[in-house]
């Protein structure tokens, strides 16, 4: 915030003190409508074997109405990354996308989860 404070005090919006301008202004920066943060997705044997497309939309479709709907996992958009890793552990090892270990699937996949404005 020091860059713009020459003429006075500048305060970050509440909840965005440690965020980037792109996170605050998603539409302006066009970051909201990109899933997988551009290239980050789950990795590991369970993902390679059951989600080879490695896309947010594919995981959501398979888990809600596709081949894995019967497992009862439901919409991944309502889950944390940790919950998803627990769900997928039956299929083998799975790792969180880098930088999303403590986030939600909706954070990783804003387009798929209809978070875009």
pLDDT digits (tens, 9 = 90+) for 38-48: 578 999 999 99
* Residue 81: pLDDT band with limits 50, 70, 90: very high
What is the model's pTM? 0.71
Q: What is the DSSP letter of 8?
A: S
Closest of 71, 73, 49 to residue 60, by C-alpha: 73
Residue 114 backbone phi and psi in degrees, to 5: 55, 40
- Going from N- to C-terminal start, the domains of the chain cover 26-108
Lowest mean pLDDT among 25-29, 42-46, 62-66: 25-29
Query: CA separation (Å) from 55 to 35, 108, 112?
Result: 8, 10, 9
Reduced to 3 states, what is the DSSP secondary structure of residue 70?
helix
Contact at 8 Å (CB) between 88 and 50?
yes
Reduced to 3 states, what is the DSSP secondary structure of residue 113?
coil
Predicted pLDDT at 19: 73
For residues 64 and 93, give the distance between their C-alpha atoms in angstroms, rounded to a whole number: 21
For residues 14 and 68, give the distance between their C-alpha atoms in angstroms, rounded to a whole number: 39
């Amino acid at each position: 915030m020091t860059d713009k404070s020459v003429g006075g005090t500048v305060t970050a919006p509440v909840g965005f003190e440690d965020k980037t301008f792109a996170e605050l202004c998603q539409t302006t920066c066009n970051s909201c409508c990109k899933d997988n943060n551009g290239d980050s997705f789950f990795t590991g044997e369970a993902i390679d074997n059951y989600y080879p497309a490695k896309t947010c939309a594919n995981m959501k479709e398979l888990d809600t109405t596709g081949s894995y709907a019967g497992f009862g996992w439901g919409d991944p958009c309502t889950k944390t990354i940790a919950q998803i890793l627990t769900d997928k552990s039956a299929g083998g090892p799975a790792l969180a996308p880098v930088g999303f270990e403590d986030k939600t699937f909706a954070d990783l996949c804003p387009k798929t989860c209809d978070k875009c404005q």
